[in-house]
Amino acid sequence: MTTPLRAELRLENGLVGKAGADRIALIEAIAETGSIAAAARRVDLSYRAAWDAVQVLNNLFAEPLVVAVHGGAKGGEASVTPQGAQVVASFRLMEEGLRRTLADLQDQLAGTGGVALPSLIWTLGMKTSASNALRGVVKIIIDGAVNAEVVVRIGETAEIVAVVTRQSVSDLGLTPGATAVALINAGSIILATADAELRTSARNSLRGIVSEIRQGAVNDEVTLDLDAGKTLTATVTSESLRRLGLAVGEPAIALIKASHVILAVA
């Protein structure tokens, strides 16, 4: 499920402040009520915050947008100047232009088979503390009484299984064919040599080639190349790495419990 994309216009002067849709709404409310206090209530601001916002707005432009008489907690009379009315009208016009531009961009990307704009922006802007964020497509969902098992294909052969609550499946809009990102902390990954004959309860067993080892004082970071250009980074103790005898260019297995995989969607 893709969250609808919305453009937000914000005007900024690094010296004196910034103005966005919330402050434009405050000007509109002042124009309608004739009072900063009443306008503050309408846009869900405290009187102090509204008064401060008016001062910032007046500082942003060559002429004041709002003329007000400070009336204390009960407020006082206030009016929007012709300059303020022009700013509101211009802002709303630019906002509408942004909306149309955004819609046109989405239509153009859809027509060329490109990545959907909301998904592109969300993916590039996503921040997470997890060392690994692997994008894929939901292959299948196995429903349970409380939890569900979600299989996400991240490459031609590589898959990651996550166990999440049924409510999470519903909240995230997960269905077969939907795009999802699997988030995995490096410390949740157990490494093994590729020739090891293992019987383990870990639901995920991903094979790859060691492409990088970054050594630390206590722990080391080991990066595996998976298929389809994906990589996976694990954190292990230096002693464990020494015992495994892993080196760059050698195959290895990453073991991950399904309950340690977090799913995210745009």
Count of CB atoms within 10 A of residue 254's CB?
Answer: 22
pTM: 0.57
CA 251/CA 209 separation, integer angstroms: 4
pLDDT at residue 126, rounded to an integer: 54
pLDDT at residue 201, rounded to an integer: 83
pLDDT at residue 1, rounded to an integer: 43
Give the position of tokens 């859809």: 110
Amino acid at 30: I
pLDDT at residue 134, rounded to an integer: 87
pLDDT in tens, the chain (266 residues): 444 556 666 666 555 456 688 889 999 999 999 999 999 999 999 998 998 888 878 877 778 899 977 555 555 689 999 999 999 999 888 888 877 777 776 666 666 655 555 555 555 555 555 678 888 899 999 998 889 999 999 888 889 999 999 999 999 999 999 988 899 999 999 999 988 777 888 899 999 999 999 999 899 999 999 876 788 999 999 999 999 999 999 999 999 999 999 998 87
pLDDT at residue 72, rounded to an integer: 52
pLDDT at residue 112, rounded to an integer: 62
Residue pair 241/222 in contact by the 8 Å Cβ criterion: yes
pLDDT at residue 71, rounded to an integer: 58
